[in-house]
Amino acid sequence: MSQIKLLPNYIRLLIEIKRMGGKARPYTLAKKLNISASVLYESLLKLMALGFLEKTPEGYAITPKGEEFLKQLKNEFQRIAEVI
């Protein structure tokens, strides 16, 4: 799914954390997404401010609010796919 790069970094980041089981460390995320540390931390801060992520001893974890957002995003993409 290479077109995922077209999505804003904060959405790509949330999707990648979900793929990694819901928790991830910053270094791993930056490497997987091929983004700089500054872009990564800016996106992490935005996601935490929205309540979609929380900082844990293991790195960053998706909150219930973040899980709900991902469900809504999935549903929206499915609706789009139905009309294509």
- pLDDT at position 18 over 50: yes
What confidence tens digit (pLDDT) does each residue in 19-64 have? Answer: 999 899 998 999 998 889 998 998 999 999 999 999 999 899 999 9
Which pLDDT value is given to residue 67? 94
Q: What is the CATH number of domain 2-83?
A: 1.10.10.10
| CA–CA separation, 58 and 83 (whole Å) | 40
Q: Please tell me whether the overall predicted TM-score, pTM, comes out greater than 0.85 for this model.
A: no
Domain boundaries, given as residue ranges, for the chain: 2-83
| CA–CA separation, 53 and 65 (whole Å) | 8
